[in-house]
Amino acid sequence: MIDLRAWQLAFLKQARSDWETYQRIDDPAWPTCHRLHFLQMATEKLAKALLVADDVSLDKITHTHAAFVKFMRVARKNHNLQKELGMTYSQIIVHFNRLLPIAREIEILAPTLAQAGPNPEYPWLDNTGEILVPVDYSFPLIKLLQSPPGTQLLRYIRRFFVAFEKLFL
């Protein structure tokens, strides 16, 4: 018998470690690709910590990378979160809709979703045939994360990590 709660907490623990690493290296002294890589991994595993609660095979969970945006969309229905933010479901839909495009930009950093384009892990070919290396690339997403919706999204992600047990368990 698989102990799903134990798996859930395991995903959460690893997600929190990724998030902590992201926070430690979220400094211009560090290459942008590594900062974004840890942000992408943290958010992916955060979403998977909810998915793993039941009904989805672990194999499928570990092999998918498109989980964070759906997590953000479905999390709006969480009454604990609505209560925490002091918003109704209608209000939280409007509010989160502003953040979803940036969440999607984070999600598609995963190489398998980047479709041979910019990603924080592996070199890729650009339109002119030049090989680009993540460590040399200035990801536009890093600027988006400094915009008002970007900072808001990061605040929510931090809140999800701090209060995960209260909100989602």
Partner 1 sequence: MSQNHQPIETFVEKLVHEYFEADEHLEKIIWIKSPKPEIRLIEVNAQTITTNDVFAFYFPPFDEIPYAMKIAEVTPDEWQKVLQNEIPLPMGWSLEDRQEFSRELVAV
Instruction: Write out the residues near partner 1 by the rule CB under 8 A.
Output: 47, 50-51, 53-57, 60, 64, 66-67, 69-71, 73-75, 77-80, 88-90, 93, 104, 168-169
Nearer to partner 1, 38 or 71 (CB): 71
Nearer to partner 1, 8 or 32 (CB): 8
Q: How far is the CB of 160 from partner 1 (least distance, A)?
A: 12
**Contact of 44 with 65, CB cutoff 8 Å:** yes
Q: How far is the CB of 30 from partner 1 (least distance, A)?
A: 29
Q: How far is the CB of 44 from partner 1 (least distance, A)?
A: 12
Q: How far is the CB of 133 from partner 1 (least distance, A)?
A: 28
**Contact of 86 with 79, CB cutoff 8 Å:** no
At 36, the amino acid letter reads: L
Give 54's Cβ-side CA count (13 Å radius): 1
The Cα 86–Cα 168 span in angstroms is: 17
Q: In terms of residues, how long is the chain? A: 169
Residues with Cβ < 8 Å from 97, sequence gap 6 or more? none
Token pair, residue 22, equals 């992201």
Nearer to partner 1, 9 or 132 (CB): 9
Short-list 98, 113, 96, 89, CA closest to 40 = 113
Nearer to partner 1, 3 or 79 (CB): 79
Q: How far is the CB of 140 from partner 1 (least distance, A)?
A: 20
Nearer to partner 1, 25 or 87 (CB): 87
The Cα 31–Cα 148 span in angstroms is: 23
